[in-house]
Amino acid sequence: MVYPALINVHDHLRGNYLPRVGPKTGSFYLNWLPWDNDLKSSPTYSERSNLSVENLYFLSAYKNLFSGVTTVNDHFPHELNRELLPRLPIRAFQEYCLAHECSSFDLKWGDGIEIEHKRALERDWPFITHLEEGFDSESQDGVGVLDRLGALDSHCLLIHCIGFSDADIKRVAEVGASVSWCPASNLFMFNATCKIRKLLKAGVNISIGTDSTHTGSVNLMAEMRLARETYRNLYGEELDAKLLTDMVTVNPAKAFRMADRLGSLEEGKLADLLVLKARKDDAYENLASAAMEDIELLVMEGRPLYGEERFTGLFGDMLPLGYTIVKVGGRRMFVIGDPSGLYAEIRKKVGFGKKLDYLPFEAGA
């Protein structure tokens, strides 16, 4: 079955290392700040420091690629990623403006909310920020902060939004802002997620993002399955498979202001394609339950990135330079770059056979 390649609306490409870092057993965070402190004092962070920033970015690119993703947003300031993003094997675009969050204790990314938002309007880019990622009074005023600054509109892509009130939802819907739903990260850190059914009923444009593996799912396919399970647990009903598909295709394309190029299989758009094994008759249900082992082919702008060896003919007579072979689920797969060599390098740097669940092969395989 053929689909538009998937879009991961929210990730942090220097943060995809394992295991996850979270609250002590039996407790949860009030907001994101104590988690950030826990992360930076954790064994995971210490072990991660053995790797170069380049290592982390390429690991993150493969985390996404091996789950059918060709487009991702790296939610970090441009000065931290502008040299690396163009080198990655997938599309980690640079056309965005940002803030870290909208509180007095945020990390002060970018040039300030008002300047970044104005720049987004001038360039027709998304303005991307975490918002209301917590339950203290200041975190829960995120929509109010943006509104008072004149920075709440359809250019906004708001991440997490777990503290939204009904009034916040109504206001976000009124202005046409988009929301990134990251249920795995939310539940792990806070034992709660956004009011997803109310957001959907209000007509808010919702996309699914992984967040980094420090708190989120191992990849976007796992996040999709968890999103459906979460919706079922919260509301006792199924999240429609077509709606779920939209949340990783057309909806994030709209949020990124790239709907003219990405998100659907239409003449005139970029040829970003995902081919999956047909395990279910319904195409949407097939994607909703897919895993890494179900990918047969992934194409970005007409160029195969990853696929079963039987598709090598797409290149002509032989696999071109710049590709390697890995074995996934017993199948020989070509892939752009050398993720197996990267995996071996990571293990050498940390000094043991590190397991990263988003890489579906063994180093050296």
**pLDDT tens per residue across span 262-300:** 999 999 999 999 999 999 999 999 999 999 999 999 999
Distance CA 20, CA 204 (A): 30
| Mean pLDDT across 213-230 | 99
Q: What mean pLDDT is reported for the chain?
A: 97
Whether 363 shows a pLDDT value over 90: the answer reads: no
**3 state SS of 196:** helix
Whether 364 shows a pLDDT value over 60: the answer reads: no
Residue 45 structure tokens: 């962070």
- Residue 316's pLDDT band, with cuts at 50, 70 and 90, is confident
- Residue 149's pLDDT band, with cuts at 50, 70 and 90, is very high
Q: Are the beta carbons of 137 and 105 closer than 8 angstroms?
A: no
pLDDT for position 250: 99
CA angle 13, 300, 184 (to 5 degrees): 40
Q: Are the beta carbons of 99 and 116 closer than 8 angstroms?
A: yes
pLDDT for position 362: 76
Whether 365 shows a pLDDT value over 80: the answer reads: no
CATH topology of domain 2-266: TIM Barrel (3.20.20)
pLDDT for position 318: 83
Stretch (H or E) spanning 73: strand 69-74
Whether 358 shows a pLDDT value over 80: the answer reads: yes
**Nearest CA to 4 among 233, 264, 289, 357?**
264
